């Protein structure tokens, strides 16, 4: 019997080919330290239409995973809204809110008109792909690269934190 790879039958070659494809897919699949330019997963806009995260990003962005059913998220929301207001004149800055396993009516009840800009991750697909397993979690994304991850409720009024964000704005 010939033990060289060329002596393998068709079923064995198919199994080896499938394993090679899976290995390559695992190698190039987005992970927690990846880029947010073209995330994998399934997001929806406020009208239930498929949406991409990438086009909503500015050179410096906060990508905020949260939910209206999450008490720390609700407590954090006013500070995040104030940050958005204070940095509103900076064209190279954006805050992208991604509501995880949430409903549009609940988000609208909490945010009002600001709910139109929220993206929805109904099955945690995008959140999990980037390492989020609890809420709230926020990623500081600079030119497509995650430079910092904030886990849990964050004080967005903190002067040192605002100075850090501002420093990235000066470099963009």
CA 101/CA 92 separation, integer angstroms:
29
Closest CA to 106 of 120, 90, 125: 120
Higher pLDDT, 170 or 140: 140
Q: Band of the pLDDT at 26, cuts 50, 70, 90?
A: very low
**Structure letter (DSSP) for residue 154:** -
Domain residue limits, the chain: 1-30, 43-171
Percent of the chain scoring above 90 in pLDDT? 60
> pLDDT tens across 74-113, in order?
999 999 999 999 999 999 999 999 999 999 999 999 999 8
Mean confidence (pLDDT) of the chain: 82
Counting Cα atoms < 13 Å in the Cβ hemisphere of 140 gives 15
pLDDT higher than threshold 90 for residue 3: no
Ranges assigned E (strand) in 3-84: 43-44, 50-51, 60-66
Among 4-8, 17-21, 121-125, 148-152, the least confident range: 17-21
Q: Is the pTM of this model over 0.85?
A: no
pLDDT higher than threshold 60 for residue 13: no
pLDDT higher than threshold 80 for residue 62: yes
**Structure letter (DSSP) for residue 118:** -
pLDDT mean over 157-164 = 96
Q: Band of the pLDDT at 27, cuts 50, 70, 90?
A: very low
What's the CATH class of domain 43-171?
A: alpha beta
Sign of CA dihedral 84, 140, 162, 74: positive
CA distances from 45 to 80, 99, 104, 117, 122 (A): 20, 10, 9, 8, 11
């Amino acid at each position: 019997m010939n033990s060289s790879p060329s002596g393998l039958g068709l079923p064995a070659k198919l199994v080896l080919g499938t394993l090679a494809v899976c290995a390559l897919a695992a190698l190039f699949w987005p992970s927690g330290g990846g880029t947010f330019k073209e995330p994998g997963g399934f997001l929806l806009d406020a009208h239930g239409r498929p949406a991409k995260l990438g086009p909503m990003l500015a050179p410096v962005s906060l990508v905020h995973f949260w939910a209206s059913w999450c008490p720390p998220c609700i407590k954090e929301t006013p500070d995040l809204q104030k940050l958005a207001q204070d940095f509103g004149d900076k064209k190279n800055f954006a805050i992208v809110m991604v509501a995880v396993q949430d409903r549009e009516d609940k988000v609208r009840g909490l945010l009002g008109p600001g709910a139109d800009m929220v993206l929805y991750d109904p099955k945690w697909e995008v959140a999990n792909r980037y390492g989020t397993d609890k809420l709230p979690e926020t990623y500081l994304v600079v030119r497509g690269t995650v430079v910092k991850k904030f886990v849990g409720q964050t004080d967005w009024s903190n002067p040192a934190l605002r100075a850090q964000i501002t420093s990235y704005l000066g470099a963009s």
